[in-house]
Amino acid sequence: MSGDAGSTLLREVWGFDSFRPGQEEIVRAVAEGRDVLAVMPTGGGKSLCYQLPALLRDGLTVVISPLIALMRDQVRALTAAGVEAGAYTSANTDEENEALREGLREGRIRLLYLAPERLASSGTAAALKRWGATAIAVDEAHCVAQWGHDFRPDYLRIGQLRAELGVPLAAFTATADEETRDEIIERLFGGREPLVFLRGFDRPNIHLGFTLKDSPRKQVIDYAKRRKGRAGIVYCGTRSKTEVLAQALREAGLSAIAYHAGLEPDARRLAEERFQREDGLIVVATVAFGMGVDKPDIRWVMHADLPKSVESYYQEIGRAGRDGLPAEALTLYGPEDIRLRRSQIDEGGAPEARKLADHGRLNALLGIAEAVGCRRVALLGYFDEQAGPCGACDNCDQPADVFDATTPARMVLSAVRRTEEWFGAQHLIDIVMGIETEKVIARSHNQLPTFGVGQEWDRKQWQAIVRQMLGQDLLRPDPSRHGALRLTQLAGPVLRGEQTVTMRRDVLPPKGRGTTRDE
Ligand code: ADP
Ligand code: ZN
């Protein structure tokens, strides 16, 4: 499949920036017309794995699903997103059926949801053939397993339907045990071996690391130099940065090219081909570089800027080490990244609910970036996968040095509250450090009880504390107040002394190093 077409649909129809774990590979296989059995946890995003390929393929995709309510929900969501879809169930009215049949006859409908009972009527297969069915997707495929708790006798007819239509079938379930799998393969695929996707989300061969961004260009060059001769990707937040960094890497004697959506199609293709072919080439890219890339021996992925969500992070680092050999991922992040990502969400024009969800996805990534324990435990936890400390992340290599930061956190929160959430980090730090700047005096902030309570820390240390507070979502900049920091829901319990705050000490610079006010 064309990778670009898949990502474009993902963004434009579903509004997602990236695939969840496993989705990309499954979408690709289904779109290519392979027989597929995919086992994904509930909530993992199975429906996208047959809905998106249906739009990439010609003809009609038939979806068998056991629950009428669920089918109608999905049809409603697809229709709202501009996709022609319908459900053929016993709950339909005559008018609904008439409209549906018309859409099918005209070939407009891309996805037809079918209740399994419908398979019992004799004309169904012939009708589906007439309507141009080119693929079957089966949701909750374990319903075909005779001894399972969800057995649905009508599911036994699906194998027959597949044989009559002679089209590929993709089966989805969250039930992973081997017996059920074997039964699904036997009954739905008639024993023909489908491509099975069963991997957990973990990619244990990828070493995970996060580090503070202090001198980004130097950090990228040093990291790449130590991996000279090994293929890698450097992801950047902007197009211009990819050009600048690629140039800097070349000047440092490395082989590097830039890649972004602003390049001519020919230039993009050329870059992809070079990357595929050449040993040890570095591609400095925006997120536009991805889906189409199928190079198994990418040894490292570096994020020069913080990705926008855990999903994006996971998908991008997942390009490394597809051959199963050791690979590395390092993400640079700093307060500027957090501010940028927040404002992109706030100013993005999405509906309020979507913005809230996007902030949540960003928070989850920041939580991993500021994690005091194993990164992999935090990452997999986000996808509801349990794991023990991995031994292959920076925090496992060297346990983070943490401290109880409840007191300094409360000082900042209190300063925010007493100044009515109208100020940025610099001014708040001036207040807690007790510095009588013009602005402090003009607003009488030297009269506040919080003025000068934080002498124990110097400015650079306070900056690291405030950044961790942003990372832990205790504070959020408000774009409608020029980025003034405001309290979040999480701040209340800390202010009231009901909740403690733990922070990393190792990201605080030693005291006395930072006395200037400039970040
Ligand atoms: P399942 O059928 O596996 O239980 P769904 O298909 O209902 O899961 O998806 C679960 C949730 O995940 C839905 O709210 C869906 O919108 C969301 N989701 C699916 N794919 C993505 C993605 N790539 N990025 C963000 N959210 C996603
Ligand atoms: Zn670990």
Give percent above pLDDT 70 in the chain.
97
Please determine, for residue 516, whether its predicted confidence score (pLDDT) is greater than 70.
Answer: no
Between CA 118 and CA 26 the distance in angstroms is: 27
Between CA 313 and CA 341 the distance in angstroms is: 13
Q: In this structure, is the dihedral angle defined by the CA atoms of residues 449, 453, 459 and 462, taken in order, positive or negative? A: negative
- Mean local confidence (pLDDT), 386-413: 93
- Mean local confidence (pLDDT), 394-402: 92
What is the residue with the minimal CA distance to atom 25 of ligand 1?
16
Between CA 213 and CA 329 the distance in angstroms is: 15
Pocket of ligand 1, candidates 46, 48, 308: which has the most ligand atoms within 8 Å of its Cβ, to mutate?
A: 48
What is the residue with the minimal CA distance to atom 9 of ligand 1?
45
Identify the weakest region by mean pLDDT among 224-228, 232-236, 428-432, 485-489: 485-489
Please determine, for residue 412, whether its predicted confidence score (pLDDT) is greater than 90.
Answer: yes
Q: Answer with the residue of higher pLDDT: 284 or 381.
A: 284
- Mean local confidence (pLDDT), 202-212: 93
Please determine, for residue 177, whether its predicted confidence score (pLDDT) is greater than 80.
Answer: no
- Mean local confidence (pLDDT), 1-27: 84
Encoded tokens for 264: 């001519």
C-alpha of residue 368 to centroid of ligand 2, in Å: 11
C-alpha of residue 397 to centroid of ligand 2, in Å: 7
What is the residue with the minimal CA distance to atom 5 of ligand 1?
45
Please determine, for residue 1, whether its predicted confidence score (pLDDT) is greater than 50.
Answer: no
Between CA 184 and CA 396 the distance in angstroms is: 40
Query: Which 3 state secondary structure label does DSSP give 141?
Result: helix
What is the residue with the minimal CA distance to atom 27 of ligand 1?
45
pLDDT at 55: 96
pLDDT 10s digits, 301-359: 999 999 988 888 988 998 999 888 999 999 999 888 988 898 889 888 888 877 877 88
CB atoms within 10 A of CB 191: 10
pLDDT grade, residue 378 (50/70/90)?
A: confident
Between CA 249 and CA 285 the distance in angstroms is: 13
pLDDT grade, residue 4 (50/70/90)?
A: confident
CB atoms within 10 A of CB 438: 7
Asked if 487 contacts 475 with a C-beta cutoff of 8 angstroms, the reply is yes
Please determine, for residue 2, whether its predicted confidence score (pLDDT) is greater than 50.
Answer: no
Q: What is the pTM of this model?
A: 0.71
What is the residue with the minimal CA distance to atom 24 of ligand 1?
16
Please determine, for residue 3, whether its predicted confidence score (pLDDT) is greater than 70.
Answer: no
Please determine, for residue 514, whether its predicted confidence score (pLDDT) is greater than 90.
Answer: no
Please determine, for residue 174, whether its predicted confidence score (pLDDT) is greater than 70.
Answer: yes
Please determine, for residue 497, whether its predicted confidence score (pLDDT) is greater than 50.
Answer: yes
pLDDT at 511: 81
Nearest of 66, 89, 63 to residue 78 by alpha carbon? 63
Backbone angles phi, psi at 235, to 5 degrees: -90, 135
- Mean local confidence (pLDDT), 260-282: 92
pLDDT at 200: 72
One-letter-per-residue 3-state SS of 242-277: HHHHHHHHHHCCCCEEEECCCCCHHHHHHHHHHHHH
C-alpha of residue 362 to centroid of ligand 1, in Å: 17
Please determine, for residue 291, whether its predicted confidence score (pLDDT) is greater than 70.
Answer: no
pLDDT at 420: 96
pLDDT 10s digits, 124-151: 999 999 999 999 999 999 899 877 668 8
- Mean local confidence (pLDDT), 81-110: 93
What is the residue with the minimal CA distance to atom 23 of ligand 1?
19
ipTM of the complex as predicted: 0.96
Encoded tokens for 399: 């346990």
Q: Which atom of ligand 1 is nearest the CA belonging to 44? A: 3
pLDDT at 364: 83
Between CA 61 and CA 188 the distance in angstroms is: 16
**172 bridge partner residues:** 38
What is the residue with the minimal CA distance to atom 19 of ligand 1?
45
Asked if 85 contacts 75 with a C-beta cutoff of 8 angstroms, the reply is yes
pLDDT at 172: 95
Pocket of ligand 1, candidates 13, 19, 20: which has the most ligand atoms within 8 Å of its Cβ, to mutate?
A: 20
Q: Which residues line ligand 1 (CB under 6 A)?
A: 16, 19-20, 23, 40, 42-48, 311
C-alpha of residue 11 to centroid of ligand 1, in Å: 13
Please determine, for residue 110, whether its predicted confidence score (pLDDT) is greater than 60.
Answer: yes
C-alpha of residue 475 to centroid of ligand 2, in Å: 27
Asked if 320 contacts 327 with a C-beta cutoff of 8 angstroms, the reply is yes
**86 bridge partner residues:** 112
What is the residue with the minimal CA distance to atom 12 of ligand 1?
45
Q: Which-ligand-closest: CA of 388?
A: 2
Pocket of ligand 1, candidates 16, 316, 385: which has the most ligand atoms within 8 Å of its Cβ, to mutate?
A: 16
Q: Answer with the residue of higher pLDDT: 427 or 292.
A: 427
pLDDT 10s digits, 448-471: 999 999 999 999 899 889 988 887
Please determine, for residue 382, whether its predicted confidence score (pLDDT) is greater than 90.
Answer: no
C-alpha of residue 40 to centroid of ligand 1, in Å: 11
Please determine, for residue 518, whether its predicted confidence score (pLDDT) is greater than 70.
Answer: no
Q: Answer with the residue of higher pLDDT: 474 or 250.
A: 250
pLDDT at 481: 78
Nearest of 62, 53, 47, 52 to residue 12 by alpha carbon? 52
Query: Which 3 state secondary structure label does DSSP give 374?
Result: coil
Phi-psi group of 501: left, alpha or beta (phi > 0 → left; psi -120 to 50 → alpha; rest → beta): beta
Mean pLDDT (the chain, rounded): 90
C-alpha of residue 196 to centroid of ligand 1, in Å: 20
Q: Which span out of 218-222, 289-293, 358-362, 421-425 was modeled with the highest average pLDDT?
A: 218-222
C-alpha of residue 334 to centroid of ligand 2, in Å: 21
C-alpha of residue 304 to centroid of ligand 2, in Å: 21
Q: Which-ligand-closest: CA of 207?
A: 2
Q: Which-ligand-closest: CA of 74?
A: 1
Give percent above pLDDT 90 in the chain.
61
Q: Which atom of ligand 1 is nearest the CA belonging to 19? A: 23
pLDDT at 461: 92
Between CA 39 and CA 196 the distance in angstroms is: 8
